[in-house]
A and B are shown apart, each in its own frame.
Chain A
Amino acid sequence: QQQVKQSPQSLIVQKGGISIINCAYENTAFDYFPWYQQFPGKGPALLIAIRPDVSEKKEGRFTISFNKSAKQFSLHIMDSQPGDSATYFCAASLLSARQLTFGSGTQLTVLP
């Protein structure tokens, strides 16, 4: 019940295109859903996060869409750039436990 399933495993997008990564969770008690970006040799960097009382959150080119009834959330990267090429992880957490459960990651490649 603690799993977070992430898809696709890898994604190739042309420069300027939209990158979409999806995640599904099982534990309805989760109340915090962040997305992290990780470059090779670096630690994950927090991109954007959402709470379940909001259906969408946008920060610059990054948008989280959240569907509580379907227990799904997704990351949209608008106007994708080669510099966005990285591995993206979704995560879910019970804030009281501070235990992030991560998805398996999506390797995004943006072609110039």
Chain B
Amino acid sequence: EAGVTQSPTHLIKTRGQQVTLRCSPISGHTSVYWYQQALGLGLQFLLWYDEGEERNRGNFPPRFSGRQFPNYSSELNVNALELEDSALYLCASSLGLTGTEAFFGQGTRLTVV
């Protein structure tokens, strides 16, 4: 069974640009979560989507946004990139509202220069 897949694995962007990260959940999982793992800040919750709806949002500015598609895949968009947005962005999925276990992908390493 395929795990959570994320793309791209690495990318480099310039400050002020916009970026889109993609995530495909485990088959059968309807919930998708996004986390940021920045150096020195640890793992921080960004967003939770289930059945196409945003269910919860962490303490991040509005330039961090996302969506979930009918096939349950998800995108994370970050506008007006700042240097401190450099981090590993992790996507996780679970069995929806009844699933407690979240399984993470390998992440997208974003470097903002």
Contacts and interface: CB of A to CB of B under 8 A. Distances in A.
Interface in A60-86: none
B61 interface: no
A41 B106 contact: yes
A95 to B, nearest CB: 6
A101 B56 CA distance: 13
Nearest to A95: B100
A43 B45 contact: no
B48 A98 contact: yes
Interface in B82-113: 90, 92, 94, 100-107
- Interface extent on B, as a size class? 20 to 34
B24 interface: no
A102 interface: yes
B33 interface: yes
A44 B105 CA distance: 8
B100 A44 contact: no
* Majority secondary structure of chain A interface residues (helix, strand, loop or mixed): loop
B62 to A, nearest CB: 18
- Interface extent on A, as a size class? 20 to 34
Contacts of A103: 42
Contact of B43 (A42, A44, A95, A98): A44
B42 A102 contact: yes
Given A44-B43, A89-B43, A100 B58 contact: no
B102 A99 contact: no
A102 B102 CA distance: 13
A27 B87 CA distance: 27
B4 interface: yes
Given A43-B90, A44-B90, A100 B104 contact: no
Contact of B42 (A41, A45, A99, A105): A105
